[in-house]
Amino acid sequence: MSTQAKPRISMKAVLFSLLVLLANIAVHGLIFLFFRDSTLNPLLTAVFAVLWGVVGIYQIYYSFNWAVEQYPEHVRRKVLPYVFVGPATLVLGWLLILPALRTLYLSFFNASSDKFVGLANYAAIFTDRLLATALRNNLLWVFVGTLACVSLGLLIAILADRSSYERIAKSIIFMPMAISFVAAGVIWKFVYYYQPGDEQIGILNAIVTFFGGEPQAWTSMLQPWNNFFLIIILIWMQTGFAMVIFSAAIKGVPEDILEAARVDGAGEVKIFFGIMIPYISTTILTVTTTIIVFTLKIFDVVMVMTGGQYDTEVVATQFYRQFFMYRNFGYGSTLAIVLLIAVLPVIIINLRQFRKQGGF
């Protein structure tokens, strides 16, 4: 039994595809050069650049789609997904992969990037006292911050699910997620604010003095308490995120299983640990790994609150200080690579969980 031969790809379609690709490169390259060398008003340049971005993206996808439509059906089915994913992948590669590779390259050079030093920077960071402090603080953020966010998020999700004020409670707890880490740092700087004397404008010190206590410089206290006070800001912000995800997962637990357990005499605590926790275990792992990534690359809160002083330094603030303030490009790049290596395993675990759940 003979099979029908697939239509051959015409030379005309191939030429059209190359022409479309070259035309896009030429047109958008010229537009880029125009904006780069333009003497227009900055506001007009910004407006035209935004319009170029919107119209340009549409034009690129439309022209690529038109070029693929010139091919036979069996080729279109294989090529079309790459047409739509390809430009985004190239942009991500340009913005993420190339800078990471360049940072790795710079980590093998000295401070001014003009002399190859091999692994000397990597050897130096593990003997640096400041980095040891930063790594210890990062571990505090990872363990204390993540554990508190996940535990409180799960507890609040369970309690709010049984409350008649569920929507209001969840909205209030989730609200800090709408604030950036920088803004949260500014807010909590006023909460912890300390000034010598009896009059205190910081909320926490005002409460302490109201009850007869002594005001404290909370964020400049000895280790590890000042770090714990900074971690509270992360807990305030990320508990709402954990709560919303857990609440959605808990609502997905089949009600008939819960009712069957109650009929068999199981208490609510036993149902929680014996049925709910195993059922949403993948969600717990996903939320945990996501918050771990936040804690490993924490920067904004520490920089706003203490600037890394008083032994509150973390790896990200050390990187910023070395690379941008001291202009030590080799050492700063090495810190960035160490941070990337620390985050990568957590991201891989997250991606595997998404794959198991059919995310991609």
Q: What is the pLDDT along the chain (360 residues), one digit of tens a residue?
A: 445 556 666 677 778 778 888 888 898 889 888 888 888 888 888 888 889 988 988 888 888 888 888 778 777 888 888 888 887 888 888 888 888 899 999 999 988 888 898 888 888 887 877 788 888 899 999 999 999 999 999 999 888 887 778 888 888 888 988 888 889 988 998 898 887 766 777 888 888 888 888 888 888 876 678 899 999 999 999 999 999 999 988 888 888 888 888 888 878 888 888 888 888 888 888 899 889 988 988 898 999 898 888 888 898 888 888 888 888 898 889 988 988 888 888 888 877 777 776 555
Residue type, 73: E
C-beta separation of 6 from 78 below 8 A? no
Hey, is 258 helix, strand or coil? helix
Residues 6+ apart with CB under 8 A from 277: 284
User: What b/e readout covers 144-156, taking b as 16+ CB neighbours within 10 angstroms?
Assistant: bbbebbbebbbeb
Structure tokens that stand for 360 in this block = 């991609």
Contact 354, 347 (CB under 8 A): no
Query: Are residues 215 and 205 in contact, defined by beta-carbon separation less than 8 angstroms?
Result: yes
Select from 297, 341, 323, 345 the least CA-distant residue to 106: 323
What pLDDT is recorded for position 2? 47
The per-residue pLDDT for 3 is 53
User: What's residue 5's pLDDT?
Assistant: 56
Q: Tell me which long-range contacts 28-32 makes (C-beta under 8 A, separation of at least 24).
A: 28/56, 28/60, 31/56
3-state secondary structure of 46: helix
Q: What's the token pair of residue 352?
A: 């595997």
